[in-house]
């Protein structure tokens, strides 16, 4: 069958979007989805998502990683699907939608190129040596380093992702450099199994870990740079729980097309 799709990107995280409100496409087909996401033999993307109808919500976000397997929450993907919903005329400036980790609120600029997405509250933070382990809808291992520009993120990230602790369920690896006025983050993503240009749940986890490391509380705003551009994280922290967490940044529709699937 012919599958109509749209390609979106948020600071270099790129996603294939499909309007599946009529449920005409059976998306649990890992090999087909993996081929669609392949950058040589398909459209190419860090993941593929299906916008579907959901009772009591504007829409439902169904997300698969580039390996064709169902995924946990994707922050930049969530921002992109909000822009997609606006393009389809489902929403205007605000939305409440549901994803795999529960309900999300988001606000989108009138221009459609900037999305502020509310993430889930976070209360549990673990330490693994000098690293932080935080789940912001997806699990993240956060390591602060003095410099990460020349770091081999693929090799070092893969070694942690597949060590005895994390190999079964997998984890995303975030390396962080404090630049003073912002944090610079590079990420190895499970499911993609490579470094990506950005990771929304990852930079969110990094901002929370940074607040703990610096003993910050109250209303906090953390500018972050990734390989694909700039993002902003803002949240409240009372020393025990993170609430009102927002992931903010640009989104862009790249192109639309059709393929045989």
Q: Which active-site residues does the annotation give?
A: 74, 199
Rounded to whole angstroms, how far apart are CA atoms 258 and 249? 28
H runs (alpha helix) in the chain: 30-37, 75-87, 153-161, 200-213
User: In angstroms, rounded to a whole number, what is the distance separating the alpha carbons of residues 19 and 25?
Assistant: 9
Half-sphere exposure of 39 (CA within 13 A, CB side): 7
Q: Is 42 helix (H, G, I), strand (E, B) or coil?
A: coil
- C-beta separation of 76 from 199 below 8 A: yes
Q: In whole angstroms, what is the distance from residue 260 CA to residue 244 CA?
A: 42
Q: How far apart are CA 247 and CA 117, in angstroms?
A: 5
Tokens 């990683």 belong to residue: 65
Which helix (H) or strand (E) segment is 187 a member of? strand 183-189
Buried b (16+ CB within 10 A) or exposed e, 225-248: bbbbbebbbbbebeeeebeebbbb
Strand partners, 94: 107
């Amino acid at each position: 069958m012919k599958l109509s799709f749209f390609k979106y990107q948020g600071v270099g995280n790129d996603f294939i979007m499909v309007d599946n409100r009529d449920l005409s496409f059976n998306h649990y087909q890992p090999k087909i989805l993996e081929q669609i996401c392949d950058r040589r033999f398909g459209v190419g993307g860090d993941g593929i998502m299906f916008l579907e109808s959901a009772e009591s919500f504007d829409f439902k976000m169904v997300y698969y990683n580039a390996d064709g397997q169902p995924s946990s929450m994707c922050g930049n993907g969530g921002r992109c699907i909000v822009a997609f919903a606006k393009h389809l005329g489902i929403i205007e400036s605000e939305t409440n939608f549901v994803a795999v980790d529960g309900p999300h609120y988001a606000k989108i600029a009138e221009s459609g190129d900037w999305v502020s997405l509310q993430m889930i509250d976070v209360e549990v933070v673990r330490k693994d040596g000098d690293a932080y382990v935080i789940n912001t809808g997806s699990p993240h291992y956060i390591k602060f380093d003095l410099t990460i520009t020349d770091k081999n993120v693929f090799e070092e990230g893969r070694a942690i992702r597949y060590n005895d602790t994390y190999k079964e369920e997998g984890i995303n690896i975030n390396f962080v450099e404090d630049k003073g006025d912002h944090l610079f983050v590079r990420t190895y993503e499970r499911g993609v199994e490579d470094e990506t240009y950005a990771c929304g749940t990852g930079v969110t986890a990094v901002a929370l870990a940074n607040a703990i490391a610096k003993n910050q509380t109250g209303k906090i705003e953390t500018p972050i740079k990734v390989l694909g551009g700039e993002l902003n994280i803002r949240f409240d922290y009372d020393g025990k729980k993170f609430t009102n967490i927002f992931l903010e940044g640009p989104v862009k529709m790249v192109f639309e097309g059709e393929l045989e699937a």
